[in-house]
């Protein structure tokens, strides 16, 4: 597997590429033009500049996360073709700097959702937390709660410019059922996948997080059955998955190692992280070590190893340690993600050596 690190750019979160160089085993940087909103043109000059910055430090720029999908595409409005054309233009440009995988999602209105960004754990660290009871049919209350504790950061899909149009967005999505959303995703894929095949860039959809509908909005990438339907929309190796154990792991019904074994040839990018589920539907993100949560991370890595996985992987969200939450993006601190890499590589190395190893 090819170990990578998600990075938000110099001067962002106080994490530099020189920090990342000191983490053994990291081969690539997962990047994006993070100021670009969905549907905006990506200029070749800026793409090249970002890629050059990454390669200058000895890393590969092969994975971009994310090129976000405009709402008009998800809703299926007549204007969607314009935004799909822009998306295709971005795919072609990214291929020129060596990008091989684009991670994206098809979640309506909101991206991944949490109710607290810095919930304290028993060991004194803190992490992203989801309280089921806090998610109601009144999204404005949730918006206020997130923003009041954001410490200057916002979660994807919760940007102020989008929140200002929340009522308008909900009205636009009202006729969009699960079947309609799936059909709109098929339309999008039928347009872009031939281009991906031409320029050798694989698309890797990210699962819904959490793995169930919220605010009455449909979610279509949240279980084995949903993934089977998705992959059948366009049966091409370039139409694939970002398999996120944290997102899919929010549901106890998802057998993650079994899903990896079934879909491994369509998994282009792996997010590996751990969540601890509670009986009331709440969950919190914990360390990558399997015993600390509900995801058996060692078995997840074993499944990838057995399948001969050669794709890209990164430690996903981590806890915030030693006071770093004062200056880090929620879920994206330096220390716990670095320790996560060492845990994942340690399990992989033990499997290479023919033993299960200690968890």
Catalytic residues: 206, 244, 271, 316-317, 332
Residue 38 and residue 69: Cα distance in Å, rounded?
A: 5
> What distance in Å separates the CA atoms of residue 113 and residue 246, rounded to the nearest whole number?
12
Report d(CA 176, CA 187) in Å as an integer. 14
Give 17-68 as a 3 state SS string: HHHHHCCCCCCEEEECCCCCCCCCCCCHHHHHHHHHHHHCCCCEEEEEECCC
Count of residues in the chain? 359
At residue 30, φ and ψ (nearest 5 deg) are: -90, 120
What is the token pair recorded at 291?
Answer: 């015993």
CA 26 to chain centre: 18
Report which of 294, 291, 262 is spatially closest to residue 275, judged by C-alpha positions.
294
195-199: long-range contacts (C-beta < 8 A, 24 or more apart)? 195/88, 195/91, 195/92, 196/91, 196/236, 196/238, 196/239, 197/236, 197/238, 199/91, 199/92, 199/95
Q: How many CA atoms are closer than 13 Å to the CA of 203, on its beta-carbon side? A: 31
DSSP 294: S
- Which tokens belong to 83? 């935004």
Distance of CA 130 to CAs 120, 142, 183, 277, Å? 12, 11, 30, 10
């Amino acid at each position: 597997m090819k170990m990578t690190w998600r990075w938000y750019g110099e001067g962002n979160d106080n994490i530099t590429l020189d920090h990342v160089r000191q983490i053994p085993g990291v081969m690539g940087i997962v990047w994006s033009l993070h100021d670009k909103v969905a549907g905006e043109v990506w200029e070749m000059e800026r793409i090249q500049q970002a890629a050059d910055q990454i390669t200058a430090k000895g890393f590969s720029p092969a994975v971009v996360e994310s090129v976000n999908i405009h709402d008009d595409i998800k809703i299926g409005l007549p204007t969607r073709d314009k935004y799909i054309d822009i998306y295709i233009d971005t795919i072609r440009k990214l291929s020129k700097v060596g990008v091989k995988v684009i991670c994206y999602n098809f979640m309506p209105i909101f991206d991944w959702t949490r109710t607290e960004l810095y919930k304290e754990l028993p060991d004194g660290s803190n992490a992203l937390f989801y309280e089921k009871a806090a998610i109601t049919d009144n999204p404005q209350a949730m918006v206020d709660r997130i923003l009041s504790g954001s410490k200057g950061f916002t979660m994807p899909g919760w940007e102020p410019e989008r929140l200002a149009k929340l009522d308008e967005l909900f009205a636009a999505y009202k006729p969009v059922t699960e079947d309609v959303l799936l059909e709109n995703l098929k339309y999008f894929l039928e347009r872009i996948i031939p281009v991906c095949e031409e320029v050798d860039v694989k698309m890797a959809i990210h699962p819904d997080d959490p793995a169930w509908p919220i605010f009455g909005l449909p979610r279509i990438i949240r279980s084995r059955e949903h993934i089977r339907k998705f992959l059948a929309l366009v049966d091409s190796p370039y139409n694939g998955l970002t398999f996120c154990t944290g997102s899919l792991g929010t549901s106890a019904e998802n057998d993650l190692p079994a899903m990896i074994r079934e879909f491994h040839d369509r998994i282009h990018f792996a997010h590996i992280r751990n969540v601890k589920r509670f009986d009331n539907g709440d969950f919190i993100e914990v360390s990558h070590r399997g015993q600390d949560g509900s995801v058996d991370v060692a078995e997840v890595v074993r499944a990838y190893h057995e399948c001969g996985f050669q794709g890209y992987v990164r430690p996903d969200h981590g806890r915030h340690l030693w006071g770093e939450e004062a200056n880090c993006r929620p879920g994206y601190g330096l220390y716990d993600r670095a320790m996560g890499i060492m845990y994942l590589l340690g399990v992989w190395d033990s499997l290479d050596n023919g033993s299960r190893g200690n968890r």
